[in-house]
Amino acid sequence: MVISIIIIVVVGPTWGIDFTGGSLLEVAGKPEDSGAVSSILQDNFQVTATVQTTQSGTFLIRTSSLTQEQVSSVTAELKEKKLITGEVLRFESVGPTIGAEIRQKSWLAIGLSLLLIIMYLAYTFRGARGLTSPWKFGLAAIYALLHDLLVVTALFVALGKWKGVEIDTLFVTAQLAIFGYSVNDTIIIFDRLKSEWLSTRSADLTHLMNKAIGDTLMRSLNTSLTILIVLLALLFFGGETIRWFIVALTAGTITGTYSSLYVAPPFLQFLAKRPWR
C-alpha cells in the first residue's frame, strides 16, 4: 500500500478527458504516421495533441476541446495528406467544467460507497458484539478495499506513464465493481467467523479466524477463477474500447481475492486486540 501511494504521488495519474475536459477522435491510420498527425495538428491548427495507436489499426487523438466544425477541418486536412483513411470512427468532447464536476462526483461516489459499506457491516455483524465491536468488521473490510483501490490505481498510474493509459469514468466504474466483489468475499469469511464464534463461544480469535478462512478458501478461489476466465476472454476478444476497463477488473479481482484472505482478517484481529469500543 505504501509503495502504491508513492507511485501515485510521484508519478501522478494520466487523467482522461472525462476528468480534464477535451476531445477524443478515433480514426483509421498507419502507426508510422502518428508523429505526422501530431505535427499537423500543432502547426496548422495550433492544437496540442497526443496520438496513440491501437491494435485495431486506428489513431486515438486527444486534444483540447474541439467543435464539430474544427473536427471536420482537421479530418479533411489529414485525409488530404493521406494520413488517415475513412471517416471519424469516434468523437467525444467534454468541457472543462463538466470534467471537474465528473471528477468531484466520482470521488463522492467512492467515498459514499465506503461509508455505506461500514454502516452495513456494522449492522450485519451486530450479533458478534461479544467477539468484538461490530464497527470493527466494517473498518477491516474498508481497509481491504483501500488496499484494492491503491494497488489498482498505482497499476494504472504506471500504465499511464509507460503506455498512455488514462484514468476515466470507466476506471471509476471498474473500481466500484471491484468494491462490490471484494467486500462480498470478505463478508463470506467474516460471516463464517461469526458462525464459528456463536457455535463455540471460544475467545481464541486466531483459531476462529483460521478456521473461517480454511472453510471458505476453496469457495473464494473457485469464484475468483470463474470470474477471471470470463474477464480474460473479454480481454482478448472484447475489443479496444473496453480493454483497459477489463484490465482494471482483472487486477481488482486478483487483489480483491488476496485482500479478503490476507488483509481484512489480520486487520480485524489487530482491531479486536485494541481496547477501543
Model confidence over 100-144: pLDDT tens digits? 787 788 888 888 888 888 888 878 887 777 777 888 888 898 999
pLDDT at 3: 96
Q: Specify the pLDDT at position 249.
A: 96
Rounded Cα distance, 194 and 51, in Å: 54
pLDDT band at 96 (very low <50, low <70, confident <90, very high): low
Query: Cα separation of 168 and 18, whole Å?
Result: 6
Q: Does domain 97-272 have CATH number 1.20.1640.10?
A: yes
Domain over 22-94 is classified CATH 3.40.640.10: no
For residue 15, pLDDT beyond 90 = no
**Between 70 and 253, where is the model more confident?**
253
Query: Helix 169-200 vs helix 243-262: angle between axes, to the nearest 10 degrees?
Result: 20
pLDDT of residue 7: 96
Instruction: Give the largest Cα separation in the chain, rounded.
Output: 79
Does residue 69 register a pLDDT over 90?
Answer: no
- Residue 157 predicted with pLDDT over 90: yes
Least confident span in 69-78, 251-260, 264-273? 69-78
For residues 232 and 157, the answer to whether their CB atoms sit within 8 Å is no
Mean pLDDT of 1-16: 93
DSSP 28-69: EE-GGGHHHHHHHHHHHH----EEEE-TTSEEEEEES---HH
Percent of the chain with pLDDT over 90: 29
* Dihedral in degrees, nearest 10, Cα atoms 16, 153, 162, 87: -30
Spans of all domains in the chain: 22-94, 97-272
Sequence-distant (6+) residues with CB within 8 A of 185 are 220, 223, 224, 256, 257, 260
Q: What is the pTM of this model?
A: 0.80
Give the confidence band of 277 by pLDDT, cuts at 50, 70, 90: low
Q: What is the reported pLDDT for 217? A: 92
Cβ atoms of residues 259 and 147 within 8 Å:
yes
| pLDDT level of residue 222 (50, 70, 90 thresholds) | very high
Amino acid (1-letter code) at residue 265: P
Judge whether residue 97 has pLDDT over 70: no
SS3 call for 207:
helix
DSSP H helix total and E strand total for the chain: 10, 4
At 39, the pLDDT band (50, 70, 90 cuts) reads confident
With H, G, I as helix, E, B as strand and everything else as coil, classify residue 228: helix
pLDDT band per the 50, 70, 90 thresholds, residue 276: low
Tell me how far apart the alpha carbons of residues 212 and 171 are, in angstroms, rounded to a whole number: 33
CA torsion through residues 140, 145, 150, 151, sign: positive
CA–CA dist 182, 160 (Å, integer): 25
